[in-house]
Structure 1
Amino acid sequence: MATTLASISTVPSAGSGSPSDKYRGAVVEDLQLPPAFSLQQDQRLDKAIELAYDRDFSHIPILSRERRPLGYLDVAQLKSKWEAGAVNADDSVLTHTTKFKRNPKNGYTLITPLTPLEVLEQFLDSHLFALVTDQSRKFVLAVATRQDLDNFVTRRGRGFY
């Protein structure tokens, strides 16, 4: 059996060790995420596609007129539909939005810049991404993904100070 380079790497993977080993007290703010790019619910689809091609985001949050998160556009899925001619440029982004399911039983998980990365990791175990908001949930500040956590651990060189 051949040994791959990845299996003998000296940099621990993001999935190994305890969360306290990986993150050492770091919070979401430490991920240095770019500012969130979001769209209003009444934005036209052609504008969303244009902006999606200009940016490298996999998901775009869709907000209500009151700036409340309603759901998201899956950019890869939308681009495929666009290239296949399966969407109308005049459609509202809301018609192609995957809506958030609010579960009264579990409540709303608040992810802010001061949320510990251990909490974010737990949230991302069952979600594609997290919207990072201010404490009062009035503004979407960033979008965090599992890849952001992995990049953070790799950049930090866990245990190699």
Structure 2
Amino acid sequence: MATATLSPQTTHLFTATAAEKYRGAVVEDLQLPPAFCVKSSETILRAIEQAYERDFSHIPVLDRQRRPLGYIDVATLKTQWEAGNTDASDKVINYMTKFKRTVSQPYTLITPYTPLAELEEFLKQNIFAIVTDPSRKFVVALATTQDLETFVSRRGF
């Protein structure tokens, strides 16, 4: 009867810390596509069309100063529209999930220079991360757990 044993190298794969797994990589190393955002005054029809063109499942909603207010879940919005619960000309602000910024839930800054280990921790509690420039003046990209998984598989870890 043959038995298999794990070598020290194989065992290391299952117990790797986030820092070891990402080998010092930062968000910029994910090579994310540029973010697609909509203004709060955009119609849901236009938002849905553009989301499908770009293959985005969540879209940040911005105010007039281009600050993130919240996001729309494209699949949920499309379902509501197909069910007749919305009108194509309705504004996305009426259907967005608002970001909760409070003392107990402060804004977490994710930039292109944020270590992937920190991003992983953030994504344990959130669907996606909005990546902004360090001064939070504009949205650079969106990051998901799938982006992290793709990165790790590309690196062969």
TM-score by length of 2: 0.88
Q: Which residue of 2 aligns with 1:121?
A: 120
Distance 1:78 1:85 in 2: 11
Structure number with bigger Rg: 2
What is the CA-CA distance between 1:136 and the residue it aligns to?
A: 0.5
What are structure 1's unaligned runs of at least 5 residues? 1-9
Q: Which residue of 1 aligns with 2:43?
A: 44
What are structure 2's unaligned runs of at least 5 residues? 1-9
Q: Which residue of 2 aligns with 1:143?
A: 142
What is the CA-CA distance between 1:86 and the residue it aligns to?
A: 1.6
Distance 2:76 2:16 in 1: 34
Distance 2:33 2:136 in 1: 18
Rate the CA distance shift 1:101–1:121 in 2: closer, same or farther, 3 A.
same
What is the number of residues matched between the two proteins?
147
C-alpha offsets along residues 44-75 of structure 1, whole Å, 9 cap, x if unaligned?
11111221221211100000000010000001
Runs of at least 4 residues off by over 4 Å: none
Distance 1:106 1:43 in 2: 28
Distance 2:44 2:21 in 1: 40
1:59 maps to a residue whose letter is H
TM-score by length of 1: 0.86
1:74-113 aligned within 5 A: 74-113=73-112
Distance 1:63 1:71 in 2: 7
Q: Secondary structure at the match of 1:70?
A: strand
Structure 1 vs Structure 2: percent identity of aligned residues?
Answer: 60
Across the aligned residues of Structure 1 and Structure 2, the Cα RMSD in angstroms comes to 1.7
Q: Which residue of 2 aligns with 1:35?
A: 34
- Larger RCO (CA within 8 A; separation ≥ 6): 1
Distance 1:103 1:146 in 2: 25
